[in-house]
Structure 1
Amino acid sequence: MGRRAVAVSAVLFFVQCLWILWLSRAEPDPAVAAMEEAEREALYLAVQGFVGNQWDGRSLFPDPCGWTPIQGVSCDVYGGRWYIAAIDVGPVLDNSLKCSTEAELSPHLFELKHLRSLSLFRCFTDQSVAGGASLYQDWQKLSGSLETLEFRSNAGLRGGIPPGLGLLSNLQSLVLVENSLTGQLPPELGNLVRLRRLSLAGNQLSGQIPAYNDWNELLILDLSRNSLSGPLPPSILSMSALLKLDLSSNQLNGQLPVAKQGSLTLLDLRNNNFSGLAGLAGMAALQYLLLSDNPLRANLAELGLENLRNLIALDLSSTGLRGEIPETIAKLRRLRFVALNDNDLSGRVPKSLEDLPELNALYLSGNHLRGELEFSEEFYARMRRRFACRNNAELCYRARAGSRQVAPPAGVRRCWN
């Protein structure tokens, strides 16, 4: 019986090996593993448009969604077949696809009907009049699939933002950062109702910001470092989901409208021409309030800062602020950074600021503050150079007898009386 059992086991093992060998030689089921030849050819030609005609994808990557994947190209299965889902081009990794000096957006790119994500980094670098690239393409062909579109650091990407981008109804992230785009913001971008992130920073965009009213899912809006002008539409500060708003380094003006939502955590309006604040009370979740270099000319005590209990960073430098520093600022227990320098503030410096447990930077230089600084030596030792109170002619500090103070506040005279 023992020999018979061994013989049976040997036969079963042999049959099993034959079955595995047959499976390995069998052709894959076309309904499961195949890729449409038109899709494969469109991919090769689209990549050639970026990297140059010398790139031989047919020989190097005969199975781009299988055993010969292309770095930066991702695939997914739709209806039992492989399709291109994402293309990421740019010098990120050693084996990343890198654009040639004659890179272009090939028409074949728009034949990839299931493309969900397209990202191009440092791809279009030719800044000559004859060179460069444009965003004016047949985006409508990707309207049913594209969710992410990113063009970063493409100095040769010129012209305007085409209204046709507003046809990308599934788009959730539109990032066009540090290119050479010009012209105005098209109102058609307001049709992107699923948008969660919009970043157009570092271009040469001009004109006014349209009143976009339907961005109910938008979380991040960054239009910084452009030449946008005019007032800020109230609809921008009424977006219920918005977390971060960065409009710094533009030419926006007028009064900052009243915020009607409480989700905003970052408001960065530095380096603009805003001339007033309608109120900050509606921004209870705000953590970063950055308004420096605007002619606000407001009374600091009337801004309602005491309502911003989650505030971490407050930058109101060079805004023409007047009045005294209110004691209520000491109620903002999460404050770490306070910059009130280069204003017209007067009165005494509240000693209660010392009691802010997380404060590690306090800048009060260039005002009309007066009287004696009453901070403890421990405060000066903790802050060191992160406390500045220069150019306040009537302000002084008193050295304690026998003290070994780490360093007196730089630029502040001693009190002698």
Structure 2
Amino acid sequence: MSPPLLLALFFLRILLVGSTAEQSAIKNLTDGASGMDSEELLGLFEVVSALLENPNWPQMHPHPCTDTPWPGIQCEVGQEEVPIFHVTKLHIGPDIANPVCKTSAKLSESLVRLPYLKTLSIFSCFIISTVTLPPSLFGTFSYLEQLVIKSNPSLSGEIPPSLAEVSTLKVLSLSQNSLQGRIPKEFGRLDSLMQLDLSYNDLSGEIPDEIGGLRSLTILDLSQNGLQGQVPYTLGQLQSLQKIDLSSNMIVGTIPPHIGILSMLVLLDLSNNLLSGPIPEALSDLKELEYFLVENNPINTRIPMFLGSLTKLTVLSLAGCGFSGPIPTSIGSLAHLITLSLDRNRLSGTVPPNLGALPNLSQLNLSQNLLSGELSFPEEFVNRLGKRLDVRGNSGLCTRQDQYKNLSLNLDTPPCLDSDKPSNRSWDQDSGTGTDYQRLKPSLYDGKGNSNASVVKQRLIFLWCFGSNLFVILMVFV
């Protein structure tokens, strides 16, 4: 259908409505004052009217690229012999106060009439009526670089594989929707893609190995879904990756050593999955890593010593992983560390005092472990952390009575015996019934009837009596 005919039909619709403002708007369109291709302008009106509550939007913004601009639209001049404007950005979201999306908002097929779009972003628009992503919609774009459709609870259905035909895509964010199904393996063809965010949906199935084809990818966020299978080893091919977030899925297996190749990685979040240990030593090559989170996985090994070599770490979360053995003293060398979470494990031994010398640490959680001995942190450190220092649930830990007496803290630790000086005695680790004080007694004073003290006392009395009798006998012979 030719542009003049389209304008005629649109003009007839306006006349039927009968609004003077609408007639004025269409007159400007026919005069060419909009500075746009007529079919592209009509397509824009249809797309916006399918989304927004205000039916007068075309009359309020008859020249969206020039005289009556709208904050959500940007235009650029094309390369034609007679330059005209083309819509290159369309943004719909709550930051555009008026108009807002209507309850029956949907994606119009007229999007294909905006072939010069570089950015399409729709935030919090599909709230009530069920909306899907039409498979035939996206294969027509030749310039689209950013597609962000986010925070739309009624956007459901599967992700169309036809998105992989938009070879110009650099940012694809479909997070915080209700999308289902698998991640299309066709996405591996998007070799210009730099950010892929499919977080907070209902996606299932495995992460496709083809994801290793996204050679330009810097951010991968697939968190908060129902993804299964293993972490694909092909992630090691994505040398530009700076962020990997696979948290809160049902991923199994071990952490692939190939991740250690990603020398630019800053964040690695694998928490809340079903991963097992050990943590591969190949991760020691992640010298740019600042955030390492693997909490709530059944790793069930010891904390690896090499974590102390990741000197840029600011957040280290190893909570709820079944770690056993001691806390590596090497962690005390992580000078940039801000948060350290080691709670809900089976860690034993003493708390390394050098943790109290970490200059930037503001949160330390060692609760619910099997730690023992004296908690010996500087008063300044304990005062700085306050309630962000949590050592509860370690029955063997104790503190000196006078060490933190001026601080209004609740460390939930009993006083150490001989609190005026450090103790090198071995403490009774019996976790049976009785008070904490009784459990903290040295084994020499276990309180039982046949104590070691009683035996020693009986032997001393016997030796004294024997020595006295021997002295009397010797005096007789003399």
Common topology (TM > 0.5): yes
Matched, 1:176 2:178: no
Question: Which amino acid is 1:180 matched to?
Answer: S
- Match for residue 241 of structure 2? 242
The answer to whether the 8 Å contact 1:31/1:81 transfers is no
Name 2:165's counterpart in structure 1. 167
Instruction: Check conservation: 2:126, 2:153, Cα contact below 8 A.
Output: yes
2:256 paired with 1:254: no
Three-state SS of the structure 2 residue aligned to 1:318 is coil
Normalized per residue, the structure richer in strand is 1
Distance of 1:172 and 1:31 partners within structure 2: 34
Q: Distance in 1 between matches of 2:153 and 2:136?
A: 18
State the structure with bigger RCO (CA 8 A, min sep 6), 1 or 2: 1
Equivalent residue, structure 2, for 1:205: 203
Show the counterpart of 1:65. Answer: 65
CA gap of 1:122–1:254, structure 2 versus 1, over 3 A, is same
Deviations 1:7-66, CA, capped at 9 Å, x for gaps: xxxxxxxxxxxxxxxxxxxx9xx99983111111111111112126x6244432221211
The answer to whether the 8 A contact 1:389-1:409 is kept is no
Over residues 89-145 of structure 1, what are the superposed CA-to-partner deviations in whole Å (9 max), with x where a residue is unaligned?
A: 1221323x4221121211111111101111111111225xxx433343321111x11
Determine whether 1:185 maps to 2:188. no
- Give the drift of 1:263: 0.7
Q: Which runs of 5+ in 2 are unaligned?
A: 1-27, 419-478
Superposition TM-score, scaled by structure 1 size: 0.87
Q: Deviations over 1:274-298 (max 9, x none)?
A: 1122232121110011111011112
Letter in 1 for 2:208: P
Match of 2:366 among 364, 375, 379: 364
State the one-letter code of the partner of 1:284.
Answer: K
Q: How much does 1:378 deviate?
A: 2.2
SS in 2 for 1:40: helix
Alignment of 1:15-414 (within 5 A): 34-51=35-52, 55-79=55-79, 80-95=83-98, 97-126=99-128, 131-142=130-141, 144-211=142-209, 212-258=211-257, 259=259, 260-276=261-277, 277-279=279-281, 280-300=283-303, 302=304, 304-400=306-402, 404-407=405-408, 409-414=410-415
- Secondary structure of 2:383's partner? helix
Considering only aligned residues, what root-mean-square deviation do their CA atoms show, in Å?
A: 2.0
Is contact 1:135-1:161 (8 Å) kept?
no
Is contact 2:387–2:409 with CA below 8 Å preserved after alignment? no
Shift of 1:409: 5.0
Please list the CA deviations of residues 359-391 of structure 1 after superposition, one character each: whole Å capped at 9, or x if unmatched: 111111111111111222222212211111111
TM-score by length of 2: 0.76
Displacement after TM superposition at 1:322 (Å): 0.9
**Are the aligned partners of 2:217 and 2:241 in contact in 1 as well (CA < 8 Å)?**
yes
Residues 49 and 106 in structure 1, CA contact (< 8 A), matched pair in contact too: yes
In structure 2, how many angstroms separate the alpha carbons of the residues matched to 1:138 and 1:345? Answer: 54
Q: Secondary structure at the match of 1:158?
A: coil
Q: Using the aligned pairs only, state the percent identity.
A: 36
Rounded to whole Å, the distance in 2 between the matches of 1:220 and 1:171 is 14
Q: Which has the higher helix share?
A: 2
Larger radius of gyration: 2
State whether residues 202 and 224 of structure 1, in contact with CA within 8 Å, keep that contact through their aligned partners in structure 2. yes
Aligned residues: 381
Q: What secondary structure does 1:141 align onto? A: coil
